[in-house]
Amino acid sequence: MSTTHPHSRLTHLPLQDVDFPASFAADFISELIKATEKDAQGVDTYHSWKVCILSNRIGEMLGLDKGSLKELFFASLLHDVGGTRISGHVIESLVQIPDIYGQKNDFFIFAHPHRGETILKGFSTFRKISEIVKHHHEFFDGSGFPAGLKGASIPLLSRIIRLADTVDILMNLHKIKDSNELLLFLNLISGEEFDPSIYSVFVSLATDNKVLELIGDREKVEAEMSSLKKKMGDRYYFSSPDIVNRFFKTVAMITDNLTSPEDNHSIRVSELSVQIAYLLGVEEEEIMTIRWAAFLHDIGKLTTDRTVYSKKEKLTDEEWLSIRTHSLRSYEIINSVAGMDRIAYYILHHHENYDGTGYPEKLKLNMIPLGSRIIRVADAFDAMTTNRIYHRKRDWHIALKELKRFSGTQFDPEIVEVFINDIS
């Protein structure tokens, strides 16, 4: 099976032509991170948001310039990007294992800064951020990890994040509401875990309790992050469609690794969707939108119990409902980002059936967006031709027969015909 047209042509579009505002990087990354950090009950923990807010407050008091504050904003948001796994998030492990020696002996905890660095350093505009993320668990006395750096050899922004990260972990671990109680804990490890000069700045922040009230209140965290994001408008981090494309592809890989028994499902769906769209004569800018919607179509699966997607036992009614609502959750995440409303719309309807029996809104025929109808066929074909918990992979000839059999009911007949003719 070959792609009819070179995908590289898609990355020649100027970024402004795909209508992403300057706030896009801050909006998208903050929503992505929030989605990966829900607790076992599906409630937002806001851990990285709170670390980001605290870090930036400290950075402002230290007199960091605007460029450094932006680096601190993105590094603190992304500091635990390597800490997500099928069964949960690293913050849960850090709260359960608060001592440094236990953390070093827990491979998941020990490796997560390096995993974060590995994810980010593949993007030229995120390389400085990747170094900060790598060292955010270094201790001032050299007893931290992963490299055992000491004192001023630890990047300044990593030292700031270390303190902010520990504050939120301690407040969760000990249910701290009062600054005096918090400072009693922190005083014991200043000079060991923290840079004393940075800690003294935090003490002045914490003494009036306002900053603790801020990060202890969901609505105040939301409002503060909204205000902070407005200051971080910048086209640097996603300065070209190529970087945006590769970042979305990376998000797709992370999503699939955590929720799909077959790696790279979303990437294959994206490539198939692009192929179909070209065959249908769709304009290149619209093909870019469809491609990105396909990359992100399953991102909502991150926000719930991810073990359900690899469960071999019969699913409960509640688990089935969770699976069937993933397109709505994906839509909610992506639609929260300015400039991504059309992508979100295609994602919302990628499980609608052509005859109106799909979900979430039971749209039918051409009421279903073309991008959604294309992704529906590509998604189904990939699901049939790869191993799943509920079935073994089928030969592609059989998969094409299934597409034909459900043409006009599940799938758009024109799309099925074009796809079958191309592959055949």
Dump pLDDT digits (tens) for 231-288.
Answer: 998 888 888 888 888 999 999 999 988 877 667 899 999 999 999 999 999 998 899 9
Q: What is the DSSP code (8-state) at residue 89?
A: E
pTM over the 0.85 mark: yes
What local confidence, expressed as pLDDT, does residue 362 receive? 96
Q: At 175, is the pLDDT very low, low, confident or very high (cuts 50, 70, 90)? A: confident
Quick check: 232 and 78 in contact, CB under 8 A?
no
Judged against a pLDDT cut of 80, whether residue 130 lies above it is answered with yes
Looking up tokens 């990939």 gives 382
Judged against a pLDDT cut of 80, whether residue 183 lies above it is answered with yes
Q: What structural domains and CATH numbers belong to the chain?
A: 21-231 (1.10.3210.10), 241-423 (1.10.3210.10)
What local confidence, expressed as pLDDT, does residue 120 receive? 95
Judged against a pLDDT cut of 70, whether residue 28 lies above it is answered with yes
Quick check: 308 and 40 in contact, CB under 8 A?
no
What local confidence, expressed as pLDDT, does residue 7 receive? 47
* Residue 219 CB-density burial (10 A; 0-12 exposed, 13-18 middle, 19+ buried): exposed
Residue 126 tokens read as 């995120």
Looking up tokens 């990087």 gives 25
Judged against a pLDDT cut of 60, whether residue 11 lies above it is answered with no
Q: Number of helices and strands (H, E) in the chain? A: 21, 2
Quick check: 73 and 84 in contact, CB under 8 A?
no
Quick check: 146 and 103 in contact, CB under 8 A?
no
Q: At 395, is the pLDDT very low, low, confident or very high (cuts 50, 70, 90)? A: confident
First to last CA, the chain: 9
Q: Which amino acid is at 12?
A: H
